[in-house]
Amino acid sequence: MSPPCSRTIWRVLKSPQLPVATRPSWILKLGSKMVRTSPESTPPPVSVTRTSISEPLWRVEITTVPLPPNAPTGLTASAVSSNQINLAWQNNSTGQTAVKVERATASTGPWSQIASLSGSATSYSNTGLAALTTYYYRVRASNTGGDSAYSATANATTHAPPDTTAPSTPTGLVATGIATNQIRLTWNPSTDTGGSGLAGYRVYRDGMIIASTASTSFVDTNLKTATEYCYRVVAYDDVGNNSTQSANVCATTLPATEGVLPMAATYEGLVLHPTSPTHADSGTISVTVRADGSCSASIGLGGTRFTFSSQFNTQGTSSAQIPRSGTTPLTVNLTIEGTHREITGTVADGTRTAEVLAPRRFWSRDLPCPWAGTYRVKIAPPDGGSADQPEGYGYGILSVRADGVAGFAGYLADGQRVFRTAFVSEEGHFPLYTQLYRRGGACVSWLTVSPDGPVTGVLAWFRPAATSGFYTNGFVTTCDMTGGNTAAPLGLTAAADGTSLELTLGGTEFPAGITRQFWETPQGRISTVPSGDRSVTIRLLRRSGEFYGYLRPATTGPLLRFRGMLDLSGAAGAGFYLGPTKTGYADLHTVP
Q: Are 312 and 293 in contact (CB under 8 A)?
A: yes
Residue 349 Rama label (left phi>0; alpha psi -120 to 50; beta): alpha
Domains along the chain with CATH numbers = 6-66 (no CATH), 73-157 (2.60.40.10), 174-252 (2.60.40.10), 268-359 (2.40.128), 373-485 (2.40.128), 499-591 (2.40.128)
Q: What is the CA radius of gyration of the chain?
A: 40
φ, ψ for residue 22 (rounded to 5)?
Answer: -100, 0
Handedness of CA 398, 399, 405, 409 (dihedral sign): negative
Residue 565, CA distances (Å) to 325, 377, 401, 446, 483 in order: 44, 9, 22, 21, 11
Distance between CA atoms of residues 182 and 362, nearest Å: 19
DSSP for 289-346 reads: E-TTSEEEEEEEETTEEEEEEEE--TTSEEEEEEEETTEEEEEEEEEE-TTSSEEEEE
Give me the pLDDT at residue 35, please.
43
376 pairs with which residues across the strands? 397, 484
Q: Are 92 and 3 in contact (CB under 8 A)?
A: no
Give me the pLDDT at residue 412, please.
96
Distance between CA atoms of residues 83 and 105, nearest Å: 14
Distance between CA atoms of residues 58 and 246, nearest Å: 96
10-residue averages of pLDDT along the chain (592 residues): 48 44 43 44 44 44 74 95 94 91 94 94 94 95 91 93 90 87 90 87 94 90 91 93 95 73 86 92 95 91 92 86 90 87 92 94 90 93 77 95 95 96 94 94 94 87 89 92 72 59 91 89 79 86 87 83 88 90 90 79
Distance between CA atoms of residues 261 and 216, nearest Å: 19
The H-or-E segment that residue 35 falls in is strand 33-37
88 pairs with which residues across the strands? 76, 123
Give me the pLDDT at residue 550, please.
93
Distance between CA atoms of residues 86 and 91, nearest Å: 17
**CA dihedral angle for residue 369, residue 372, residue 378, residue 379, rounded to 10 degrees:** 40
Centre a 10 Å sphere on the Cβ of residue 528 and count the other Cβ atoms it contains: 16
Peptide bond into 110 cis (omega under 30): yes
φ, ψ for residue 44 (rounded to 5)?
Answer: -75, 170
